[in-house]
Amino acid sequence: MFSGWNWVAYGFYLVLNVCSPDASSGLVQSCGHIIPESPVLALGSNFTALCILNESCLDFGNIYASQIIWKIKNRLVPKEQYREINRTVSSVTFNDTSSLATPLTCNILADGQIEQNIYGITVTVGLAPEKPKNLSCIVHQMSRFTYVMTCTWNPGRHTFLDTQFRLRYSWPEEIFPDCIPKDVNDSCTITDIQFFVNTEIWVEATNALGKAESDPLVVDPIDIVKPLPPQNVSVSSGVLPTVLKLSWENWISDAVMTLKFNIRYRIVGDTNWMEVPCEDTAFPRTSFSVQGLRPYTEYVFSIRCMKEDGVGYWSDWSEEKTGITTEDQPSKGPPIWRIIDTSHSPACWTVHLIWKALKPFEANGVILQYEVTVRDKSSLSSPVKKYNVTSTNHTLQLPEGTYEVTLIARNSVGASPPSVLLIPASNSKAPVKNLRTLPKHDKLWVGWTAPNSYVLKYVIEWCLVSSSSDCIIEWQIVLGDVQGIDLKGIKPFKCYLITVYPLYADGQGSGQSVKAYLKQDRPSKGPTVQTKKVGKAEAVLTWNHLTVEEQNGFIRNYTILYKTIDGNETVVTVDPSKTEYTLSSLTSDTLYTVRMMASTDNGSRTGPDFTFTTQKFGKGEIEAIVVPVCLAFLLIVLLGVLFCFNKRDLIKKHIWPIVPDPSKSNIAQWSPQVPAKHNFNSKDQMYPEGSFTDVSVVEIEAEDKKSFSEQDLKPFDLLKKEKSTSEGHSSGIGGSSCMSSPRQSVSDSDEGEMTQNTSSTVQYSTVVLNGYRDQTPLQVFSRSESTQPLLDSEERSEDLSGGADSTAQRQQYFRQNGGQDETNTDRPCFERTKQFTHANEGDLVGFVQLQISGQSSQPLGLGMEKNTQEAALSSVLQTCTEGQTVRPETVEENPLPVDEMPKSYLPQTVSQGGYMPQ
């Protein structure tokens, strides 16, 4: 318990010692301190620090040097580096200060492992300055009387410390103020310079670790001067056209130094400088005449200077000044050439004389005019013509002949030597051979092989070929020993036409031409192709040549690419001279896409797509089909017409049948006893095609009824029923006719009963049952030439039946085409329209056959009279339109017994119950 209180008191004491103010040593009195205090150490050296504890701490807190621990920036220093010198002093040693850091602290590890800082120091590690090296100085002239000396040096390695550099200089008996560099450590500028005294200059570098001095530089500042360049340079032309005088001012007096100079000059626009030889300007002067210049040429001059003995530095070049030399007479005559236009008349030439302006170094001044002299060499008596021209061309109208043209250029000083051009009557001399071109960078080389004869000169003409403008000729004359030149100013991708003429002493050779490109490219556009003609399996394509501006090179070939929509592309290469091509083996009625590509040596360009569709039929195919068809049609029509013509009577009969006049009917002749009342069943109107239906008249006696088999009588029963039914609905034949089924043609033989009656004509007939059920039988078969009386009689019979039921005693049976069974009774009446009636005029002799094949489409119960008439008419019409043949049959021709299958009806004598005219 006591021990614990001791430790508390100890800690409190330590805190008080560290933190509490002390009257004698300031605010804080620590328990110790470190020696040395904040040292500056050389990097890489060893270092030992001592921590010395105060005696007062020892007495109270039991603190000893053995408890000291060292730390570098809170990092514990290994205890191997500690050494306890005595009970209050502990040392720490570092073999290499590079491992040091700030701060270095001395701490106490008291009992209870409480770590308490005693003291700390700041350690600065760096390097001593190195000896500055490579000291050099230069004196710059700032103005006429002002010089500054700038010295530079190599400061050496970085010291990590604040290092001061100072430039020092002195005379033996004079020490000058130091020059301290600002913001830099490797140069300084001295503004107070005295010449002609050797000055010792050196650099001193100082920091906390030491001082270093450079080797002294002993120099007279006058020997390191870089003077200002000569000022106020001026250029003036002299008397001679090849001399310019250069004048200037020196800004250094001779008392300071004498100078030598360096003069350079160049032609304006040229980049290459020329220099006046140094020995010509190696002494003090303020002017110099530059010789050997070109007349009437503008030159640029510049000058510099340095100390005459060559010790020091050259000044900068002075500002550039220009001057122009005076004019001189032209040094040579202008090159001259001609273009002869004989388009108007071969005998009268239009001669365009063209010449080149002299180059500046040839003209030697401003050319004021040209003098052209033309002499007709073919006629000695012709006067010499002279022309004064200010332009570089002149046009003459000359008759065909040989001329000598002389040209002189004149400036303000004099005239040039003459240039002579011989214009022969014809270019009959040998031309050059093997004319060829070769691109060389941005120039086009033109070469040729000389003719065998001696050539004086060659004229090379070239022009840019254009589709929109004339070829503007450029030309050049070269000497006869030249066999190739480089054409300059040639544009790439442009076509040039180059022509070479050899000029002989006594004439001129014909020109040889070649087309050339400096550089080729692919065409700027592709050809636009279109079809000229499209057939079934071929198409003729046509296109226009690309213009020369679009070609960009020699068109080597055209390529046609065509394909169907889903097919492979077919490629055809076409000669570049063609503008048309026929595609063959195409598929008919197919859409094709075609495009065209033009190719040069450097690429291709494709034109727009063009589509076309091949024809479905080839040429003549339609004609081959249509013409025979038309011919056949015409033939058929003709045959039809002929046929109709032949059958006109028959047609007429069908179309416009002869309508019997009812008033002239004579039915009484052959059925007088037949009562008016008879059934006019429509079933009887059914006839086979083109044949009459035989009407079998069965007279059924009531007594004999049983003699027939049941089979045979059944139809009669049915008929009776039908009749009674019909009567139940309507009275008269109208109802019966509509209820009855239309008679089928003979061909409808599937019905058994129908086969009983083969084709026969149904005649208007009436069957009157005789003696049915105790009534007076009537057996009357009436035949009439007209329906009208029958209708009348029918009406009457209807009236009759309407008055009494006596009509029920009659049984009528019409067997047509084997009888009509009940299955057809429900058919609509209008189907009967398919039936037709045949009427033969021949039949009209004995009787009139009137077939009533269709009765009426009207419902049952309508007026029968009307229906019957219409039906008769329609039947006749149908006969005509359907072309049914009429097979007239007469009873006489087919006399058949009644018990058999009667196929004809003969007028009968009125028997019992017969019809009698009334």
Partner 1 sequence: MAAADSPSAALRRDLCSRGIRLAGKMRADVVDLLDAYVEQQGLDASAGVAAVEGVPLAAVERWDEQTGTQRLLENLAAYRAFRALLAQMLEEQREQLGEADAGLGRALAAVLLQVSAFAYHLEELLRLESRGIPGEEGDAPPPPPRLSLFEQKLRGLGVLRELAQWAVRSVRDLRQLAKPSPAPGLPESP
Binding site residues, partner 1, CB under 8 A: 145, 171-174, 192, 194-198, 220, 222, 253-256
Amino acid at 363: A
Q: Which is nearer to partner 1, 171 or 283 (CB)?
A: 171
- CA–CA dist 372, 393 (Å, integer): 10
Q: Which is nearer to partner 1, 196 or 656 (CB)?
A: 196
Q: Which residues are CB-neighbours of 313 under 8 A, at least 6 positions away?
A: 138, 224, 225, 226, 306
- CA–CA dist 790, 849 (Å, integer): 13
Q: Minimal distance in Å, beta carbon 270 to partner 1?
A: 41
Q: Minimal distance in Å, beta carbon 204 to partner 1?
A: 22
Q: Assign 3-state DSSP to the chain and report helix, strand, coil percentages, each to 5.
A: 20, 35, 45
Q: Minimal distance in Å, beta carbon 320 to partner 1?
A: 31
State the angle between helix axes of 621-646 and 648-655 in degrees (0 to 180), rounded to the nearest 10.
80
Q: Minimal distance in Å, beta carbon 216 to partner 1?
A: 17
Q: Minimal distance in Å, beta carbon 174 to partner 1?
A: 6
Q: Which is nearer to partner 1, 220 or 320 (CB)?
A: 220
Q: Minimal distance in Å, beta carbon 149 to partner 1?
A: 14
Q: β-strand 557-564 against 591-600: which pairing, if any? A: antiparallel
Six-digit token pair at 904?
């004809």
User: By C-alpha distance, which of 230, 217, 212 is closest to 190?
Assistant: 217
Q: Which is nearer to partner 1, 199 or 824 (CB)?
A: 199
What value does the CA radius of gyration of the chain take, rounded to a whole number of Å? Answer: 72
Q: Minimal distance in Å, beta carbon 187 to partner 1?
A: 23
Question: Does residue 424 have a cis peptide bond before it, meaning omega lies within 30 degrees of 0?
Answer: no
Q: β-strand 457-464 against 473-479: which pairing, if any? A: antiparallel
- CA–CA dist 122, 101 (Å, integer): 8
Q: Minimal distance in Å, beta carbon 141 to partner 1?
A: 14
| CB 513, CB 522: distance < 8 Å | no
Q: Give per-residue burial for 564-592: e unless 16+ CB within 10 Å, then b.
A: eeeeeeeeeebebeeeebebeebeeebeb
Burial class (CB in 10 A: 0-12, 13-18, 19+), 855: buried
How far CA 660 is from CA of 26, 434, 787, in Å, comes to 170, 114, 9
Q: Which is nearer to partner 1, 41 or 222 (CB)?
A: 222
Q: Which is nearer to partner 1, 169 or 687 (CB)?
A: 169
Q: Minimal distance in Å, beta carbon 194 to partner 1?
A: 5
Burial class (CB in 10 A: 0-12, 13-18, 19+), 646: exposed
Q: Minimal distance in Å, beta carbon 196 to partner 1?
A: 3
Q: Which residues are CB-neighbours of 418 under 8 A, at least 6 positions away?
A: 333, 373, 406, 407, 408
Q: Which is nearer to partner 1, 174 or 575 (CB)?
A: 174
Q: Minimal distance in Å, beta carbon 140 to partner 1?
A: 17
Q: Which is nearer to partner 1, 225 or 432 (CB)?
A: 225
Q: Which is nearer to partner 1, 256 or 598 (CB)?
A: 256
Q: How many residues does the chain have?
A: 918
- CA–CA dist 824, 827 (Å, integer): 6
| Lookup result for tokens 């002579």 | 420
Q: Which is nearer to partner 1, 64 or 195 (CB)?
A: 195
Q: Minimal distance in Å, beta carbon 176 to partner 1?
A: 9
Q: Which is nearer to partner 1, 98 or 191 (CB)?
A: 191
Burial class (CB in 10 A: 0-12, 13-18, 19+), 752: exposed
Q: Minimal distance in Å, beta carbon 287 to partner 1?
A: 22
Q: β-strand 443-449 against 433-440: which pairing, if any? A: antiparallel
Q: Which is nearer to partner 1, 174 or 316 (CB)?
A: 174
Q: Minimal distance in Å, beta carbon 180 to partner 1?
A: 20
- CA–CA dist 43, 99 (Å, integer): 9
Q: Which is nearer to partner 1, 149 or 161 (CB)?
A: 149
Tally helices (H) and strands (E) across the chain.
Answer: 11, 51
Q: Which is nearer to partner 1, 146 or 428 (CB)?
A: 146
Q: Which is nearer to partner 1, 178 or 220 (CB)?
A: 220
Q: Minimal distance in Å, beta carbon 124 to partner 1?
A: 41
- CA–CA dist 135, 199 (Å, integer): 14
